[in-house]
Structure 1
Amino acid sequence: MGQTNNKIGFIPLRKNSKGIPNKNKKKLLGRPLFTWVLTEAIFSNLDKVFVFTDDDEIIDYVDRHFKWSPKVSCVKRSAENASDTSSTEDAIMEFSSMINNEFDIFCLLQATSPLTKRADINQALAKLTNNNLDAVLSVVKTHRFIWSKDGNSLNYDYNKRPRRQDFDGLLIENGAVYCTKKTSLLKSKNRLSGNIGILEMSEDTLVEIDSETDWQLVEQLLISNFKTSKSVQRINYLILDVDGVFTDGKIVISKDGEFSKTFDMRDGMGLEIIRQHNVKLMVMTSENSKVVEQRMKKLKIKNVYLGVKDKYSFLEKICTEKNISPKEIAYIGDDINDLSNMLRCGWSFCPSNATKPIKYYADITLNHKSAEGAIREASEFIINYNQRFDEL
């Protein structure tokens, strides 16, 4: 494998799951479940992140849509270690031998914990290295009262029921982050051994996705977290989807492939005017289209990103490289693959003919349809908003 990767992240995924079929690939707010923790791992202090799976579709997805990150690699998991009876420890040891144990710190991350943040990963790594520990695991403090099946209270005296504020509570493993040193892992063949430290994560991260109910709960938690993190700032950037925003979503196909799309000249003028008001433009679309490329050249939009399937992680890359806060971005989208970005950006817009989920969560549903002046309307809103913001 060459040079040792000091701190590596490990995300084990199985093709078959019982509780929720194809769980790891199922879209959570428009993104495959596993990409939530993968993105956080990429932007953490880990040196390398490995996706370990027997699912060729996931390997293909990562290879094609995360190639912008030199941190990410996929390793094929054996069928023996991807069965219902195989343990995570079995997978860890198989993987470790496949990369010739070339790491110093091993960080197990679970795709079923999509609320994990890079700050959690970084804190676990720091705790492990700075406190002379062999391993660190993530936990959540709960103030629930625990009982045994035979009717015995386990963590409090029911005759002296404490008030919540006077109750220390109980630390529960949330299954999100496990870090260990190589020497400890190879000796114990276990994610935890020796002198173990704990990383306390927020209470909402106690939920792991094992059922449809868990899925719905985590989805709402993610949405709530995005909403509470929004704040009022000047809009300095406008990011636009293409199909269903610039166009009506329809394409004319010839025997040679895509032939034409319909654009609205009023939208082009709106974008020209908004640029004059110091708002920078970006276009992000999942399609690789020569027609779109030509149109954007005509509109003199330089930052055009084609073939972007995971728009959330790619926007994170752009924000990191350009030192942009999502709060200064307005985003226009129309379908589910735009949802996560629309939730986290400062302002979100959608045309009046957008899909139902997008219209439900967009900050503003425009009066105009796509390819019928929706972009022009959004541009005028942003100009007026910034003028009022600048006067404050």
Structure 2
Amino acid sequence: MKSVGFIPLRKGSKGIKGKNKRKILGRPLFSWVLAEAVFSNLDEVIIFSDDEDVLEFVAQEYTWTTKLKAVRRSDKNAGDAASTEAAILEYCEKDNYDFDVFCLLQATSPFTRAIHINECLEQLSRGFDSSLSVVRTKRFIWDETGRAINYDYNDRPRRQDFKGLLVENGAIYCTTKKVLKENENRISGNIATVEMPANSYVEIDSEADWEIAEKLLKSQLISNKGNARITHLFLDVDGVFTDGKVLFSESGELAKSFDMRDGMGLEILRQHGIEVRVMTSENSPLVAARMKKLKIDKVYLGVKDKFGLLQNLMHQENLKSSNLAYVGDDVNDMANMCKVGWSFAPANAMREIKNIADVNLSKASGSGAIREACDFLYKYNKRFNEV
């Protein structure tokens, strides 16, 4: 049975301009659910958008997976009045309904995880026609006439005894091809529900919602940190290896300044079993040359979604986040720094990064920050060697 994940994106957005591709915790909003869809049991994932920037980003950034495809959405079905169902049917007809199970995923739900998608898919394998994600609310609901809908106010239940109601969170809708063709709706027939955590009910329609969602995402990642021996150190380049300054001429990049002491620190780490890798958004020949000189073999250049790549490496190599360390300086490092066991910020890093780093280094980037982080990790790992 072929299952397809479908993420519709519109270029226009009234509530928050450019919402779908605006960065939340250093990543475009849509990339949170996109990566989870790739790591789920879905066979194929479709980004359906009228935004050329999004289509180009997807084509260039996710070359590490063969499951993802970017498809152009018509202008007709991308306006303010266009429904999600209209976009669904446009794609289905374009693809000749080449699937058995269709899974609508909303880009505005960054709390969706692969496990939730898999649970919705599992319901269809159990005989249901459709499934959708919900959250449980224990709020007391009233209608406009003053009538209590979900409880007896004369016998107010204790919270721990109150089942509450299930409410759509708008994250996941799965359906079989058969009922989708018959009813032209995201869900129909015999419908199952899959509960997701309460924080997934946050709807991002205003700046206040955005701030709440970002704080919840940050808290969720940080709360899952664990203590373990560090086996891998990931490093950004500009603002970590260097002071962030680059010399340019009319022919392009001329020079970057590196601290030789950092190289010695990395060599000491490698001698004690910590693998060093580099992950940078820039695609710089100078960086490639310097990393070759430092004998760092695994260098990822031109990476815009660093968190997605890190997740993929963890899946492929069975790496645990508690065994990873990361040194970053700017917002595109934020999600990775919240994820790993130990995160470090140079003394001259951006304020947002210093606020979430486990360790704020006393040395600035390009002036011994990496060496200081290496010394910390060497001493930290000695604890595990002595056990």
Same fold (TM over 0.5): yes
Residue of 100, 119, 122 corresponding to 2:118 = 122
2:316 aligned with 1:331, yes or no? no
What is the CA–CA distance in structure 2 between the aligned matches of 1:262 and 1:47, rounded to whole Å? 45
What is the CA–CA distance in structure 2 between the aligned matches of 1:368 and 1:132, rounded to whole Å? 60
Describe the superposition over 1:237-295 as per-residue Cα deviations: whole angstroms up to 9, x where unpaired.
00000000000000110221001000000000111111111000100001111111110
Residue type of the alignment partner of 2:351: K
Match of 1:145 in 2: 140
- What is the CA distance between 1:65 and its match in structure 2? 0.7
Residue of 49, 66, 73 corresponding to 1:70 = 66
What is the CA–CA distance in structure 2 between the aligned matches of 1:213 and 1:354, rounded to whole Å? 26
* Structure 1 segments unaligned to the other structure (5+ residues): none
Residue type of the alignment partner of 1:54: D
What is the CA–CA distance in structure 1 between the aligned matches of 2:73 and 2:220, rounded to whole Å? 34
What is the CA–CA distance in structure 2 between the aligned matches of 1:227 and 1:292, rounded to whole Å? 30
- What is the CA distance between 1:206 and its match in structure 2? 1.1
Describe the superposition over 1:181-210 as per-residue Cα deviations: whole angstroms up to 9, x where unpaired.
001100000011111111111111111211
- What is the CA distance between 1:68 and its match in structure 2? 1.9
* Structure 2 segments unaligned to the other structure (5+ residues): none
Residue type of the alignment partner of 2:268: I
SS in 1 for 2:100: strand
Match of 1:61 in 2: 57
What is the CA–CA distance in structure 2 between the aligned matches of 1:167 and 1:274, rounded to whole Å? 54
Match of 2:357 in 1: 362
**Higher mean C-alpha deviation, range 217-226 or range 338-347:** 217-226
What is the CA–CA distance in structure 1 between the aligned matches of 2:142 and 2:76, rounded to whole Å? 38
SS in 2 for 1:103: coil
Match of 2:240 in 1: 245
What is the CA–CA distance in structure 1 between the aligned matches of 2:149 and 2:127, rounded to whole Å? 32
- What is the CA distance between 1:222 and its match in structure 2? 0.7
**How many residues of Structure 1 are paired with residues of Structure 2 in the alignment?**
387
Match of 1:38 in 2: 34
What is the CA–CA distance in structure 1 between the aligned matches of 2:326 and 2:293, rounded to whole Å? 21
Residue type of the alignment partner of 1:188: N
- TM-score w.r.t. the length of structure 1 is 0.98
Residue type of the alignment partner of 2:174: C
Describe the superposition over 1:67-108 as per-residue Cα deviations: whole angstroms up to 9, x where unpaired.
221111111111111111111111100110011110000000
Match of 2:257 in 1: 262
SS in 1 for 2:381: helix
What is the CA–CA distance in structure 1 between the aligned matches of 2:207 and 2:213, rounded to whole Å? 10
What is the CA–CA distance in structure 1 between the aligned matches of 2:87 and 2:250, rounded to whole Å? 47
Match of 2:82 in 1: 86
**Runs of at least 4 residues of structure 1 off by over 6 A?**
none
What is the CA–CA distance in structure 1 between the aligned matches of 2:342 and 2:65, rounded to whole Å? 27
Match of 1:221 in 2: 216
**Higher mean C-alpha deviation, range 314-323 or range 185-194:** 314-323
- TM-score w.r.t. the length of structure 2 is 0.99
Residue of 295, 299, 302 corresponding to 2:297 = 302
2:368 aligned with 1:373, yes or no? yes
Q: Percent identity?
A: 55
Match of 1:164 in 2: 159
What is the CA–CA distance in structure 1 between the aligned matches of 2:209 and 2:289, rounded to whole Å? 45
What is the CA–CA distance in structure 2 between the aligned matches of 1:168 and 1:132, rounded to whole Å? 26
SS in 2 for 1:145: coil
Residue type of the alignment partner of 2:89: M
What is the CA–CA distance in structure 2 between the aligned matches of 1:190 and 1:213, rounded to whole Å? 31
Kindly report the root-mean-square deviation, in angstroms, between the aligned alpha carbons of the 2 structures.
Answer: 0.8
Describe the superposition over 1:325-369 as per-residue Cα deviations: whole angstroms up to 9, x where unpaired.
111000000000000000001100010000000011100010000
SS in 1 for 2:254: strand
Residue type of the alignment partner of 2:138: H
Match of 2:342 in 1: 347
- What is the CA distance between 1:389 and its match in structure 2? 2.5
